[in-house]
Amino acid sequence: MKIIVLQGSPNKRGSTNILVKEFTRGATEAGHNVVRFDLAEMNIAPCTGCVSCGYEGPCVQHDENQKIRSEILSADMIVFATPLYYYGMSAQLKIAVDRFCSYNSSITRKRMKSALLAVAWNSDDWTFDALENHYRTLVRYLDLQDQGMVLGRGCGSPSMTKNSRFPRMAYELGRYGTGQSG
């Protein structure tokens, strides 16, 4: 199975990266091919809402989102990875998701698998409510098959994250929660 990871943290040494690395290790061990996009390092413009794509055609913007589109349309699973920024996904991830506009129907037809990896400093039980709702709405709208979420509460620094149960959970999601290798 081919898995695309949309890594939305601008901090490549941060807590989100720890979960992504562990998920990738597990998925690779299970025989899957993982392609990672570090969105903060890419030149991706926000959707302008021009609808020139007709919701299923080429985008008028020619940037690195074309790489993401090509890889997603040849993949079996999308993993959304983000730190929690004001109770939602990072701007870097949101820009990439907004650009799905030009290929929504293609994603929907694929019935792809999906997962969410997220970290937050806050450890309150409501910390991820808004992000979980947004993710579940994406799953429903794009007809994705949710494979699970790792919601790292209390992961405000890499040391906090490394000493938590969440890296192991990300590994196990990659290793066992992605379905059969193929």
**What value does the mean pLDDT take over residues 11-29?**
97
**What value does the mean pLDDT take over residues 154-168?**
96
**What value does the mean pLDDT take over residues 101-128?**
95
Which pLDDT does position 179 carry in this prediction? Answer: 61
**What value does the mean pLDDT take over residues 57-86?**
95
Which pLDDT does position 181 carry in this prediction? Answer: 38
The answer to whether residue 180 scores a pLDDT higher than 50 is: no
**What value does the mean pLDDT take over residues 48-76?**
93
* Phi, psi for residue 44 in degrees, rounded to 5: -130, 120
Of 3.90.226.10, 3.40.50.170, 3.40.50.360, 3.40.50.150, the CATH number of 2-176 is 3.40.50.360
Which pLDDT does position 131 carry in this prediction? Answer: 98
Average of per-residue pLDDT values in the chain = 95
The answer to whether residue 85 scores a pLDDT higher than 80 is: yes
The answer to whether residue 137 scores a pLDDT higher than 90 is: yes
